[in-house]
Structure 1
Amino acid sequence: MKKHLKYFLVWLLIILADQGCKLWVYSHMSLGLDHHIKIFGDLFKFTYVLNYGMAFGWQFSFKYGKLLITLIRLFASFYIAIHILRLLAHAAPPIWIWGWILLVSGAIGNCIDSVFYGIYLNNAPDIAPMKWFHGQVIDMLHIDFWSGILPDWIPIWGGQAVCVLPIFNIADMSIFFGLGLLFYACKRLLPSQKKEQTKDFIL
């Protein structure tokens, strides 16, 4: 059990850091693209925004779309957690386990926002049919190569405020690096001579 403790500690640390950062931003910053805390000049700063959907603001357009997104997040988090236990039981290569740990940490971090923030931070949008499971995810990490308002003549996104890189959070970073690590693990551990012994650790 002790040899697996490091995975649990990293999982817990990521979730605590993610939630701590979000709650600090909620308590100390004004919402919107016009308010910043500069970390490295104009390149990297904190900007408090809300994301009602998934990555890059993508969302389902029907009434219970957000509820569906939240349920998908919960199911994915539960499935990945069970899968990690299976990997540990089968002594999977650590690179697999670390990839899934990063992935589930990020998924749970954003799940907490979706499930609880609508109630406890009152940040569910007015169009939400209920506050439970309709919380908006808090984003704040802003790498600002360029941001501005798109011209009105651009279809769909015209007139909207955009950034070259979307504003993200620690949970998003954890998911990104987890996926990157899993992709690297696939390339490293799945040559033809190792394919059979590792195929059970992919899904």
Structure 2
Amino acid sequence: MSLKKAYLLVLLLLLIDQASKIYIKTHFVLQERIKVLDQNWFQIFFIENEGMAWGVELPGEYGKLFLTLFRILAVGGIAYWLHDSVKKHGSNYLIVAIALILTGAFGNIIDSVFYGIIFDDSYGKVATLFSDEPYGTLFHGKVVDMFYFPIIEDYVLPSWLPIWGGKEFTFFNAIFNVADMAISTGVGILIVFNKKAFEHDHNEHN
């Protein structure tokens, strides 16, 4: 795959990611959720993530800024990896995987860098794009998540189970966005198709 095609893939997915986030931000109140096609296992559930994946946050006044700057450096490294892999005629598996990971990282960086200065908050109301009263500052935006697939939700575990007995259980309670899916898919390709992705490197060492 050429570098041009790889960047076109990144751009296309990035547009889908940002369009979906802006739509959710300007049509949903924070914590609002709806069932898709009236199915409980597929929901749109609007939350905002202030930290890393799975809601982990860095403590301290500069934790968010450090995280955002780290993401920017990471995107630079991934972009170089993509350029280098194309230059060395890496496999399509590898190039597509890197392009997906780059898309995901870049997509969430846009939220972190700019959303704090272009949106007002979503607490109890729908946010306004290009608001005169933004909720944050540059580099202190929140990442928008919306896809929720609770295959099993609020199931009460049998009381006879040790430790977890009587507690509610939800299978697959992660809430994510298009950028997250791109990263997960890219990493999945590298894991499942490892030999095909790195076949050029394997051949060089044989």
Q: TM-score range by the shorter chain?
A: 0.7 to 0.9
Aligned letter for 1:197? Answer: E
Shift in alpha-carbon separation, 1:21–1:194, aligned structure 2, 3 A: closer
* Alignment-derived partner of residue 150 in structure 2: 144
Match of 1:38 among 17, 36, 39: 36
Deviation at 1:3, TM superposition (A): 4.0
- Paired residues of 1:189 and 1:195 also in contact (CA < 8 A): no
Match of 1:186 among 183, 191, 194: 194
Match of 1:60 among 58, 61, 80: 58
Shift in alpha-carbon separation, 1:124–1:54, aligned structure 2, 3 A: farther
Match of 1:133 among 127, 132, 139: 139
Match of 2:79 among 73, 78, 81: 81
Shift in alpha-carbon separation, 1:147–1:65, aligned structure 2, 3 A: farther
TM-score, normalised by the number of residues in structure 2? 0.77
What runs of 5+ residues in structure 1 fail to find an aligned partner?
149-161, 199-203
TM-score, normalised by the number of residues in structure 1? 0.78
Aligned letter for 1:173? Answer: M
1:167 aligns with 2:175: yes
Aligned letter for 1:143? Answer: F
Deviation at 1:189, TM superposition (A): 5.5
Aligned letter for 1:172? Answer: D
1:165-187, Cα deviation, whole Å (9 max, x unpaired): 21100000000000111123434
How many positions carry a matched residue from both structures?
180
Once residues 105 and 114 of structure 1 are traced to their aligned partners in structure 2, the CA distance between those partners, rounded to angstroms, is 14
1:133-185, Cα deviation, whole Å (9 max, x unpaired): 1100000001123456xxxxxxxxxxxxx874211000000000001111234
Q: Which runs of 4+ in 1 moved over 6 A?
A: none
Which of 89-98 and 101-110 deviates more?
89-98
1:42-90, Cα deviation, whole Å (9 max, x unpaired): 1101111000011100111122111111111111111110111111111
What runs of 5+ residues in structure 2 fail to find an aligned partner?
124-135, 155-169
Aligned letter for 1:62? Answer: G
1:77-106, Cα deviation, whole Å (9 max, x unpaired): 111101111111111111111110000000
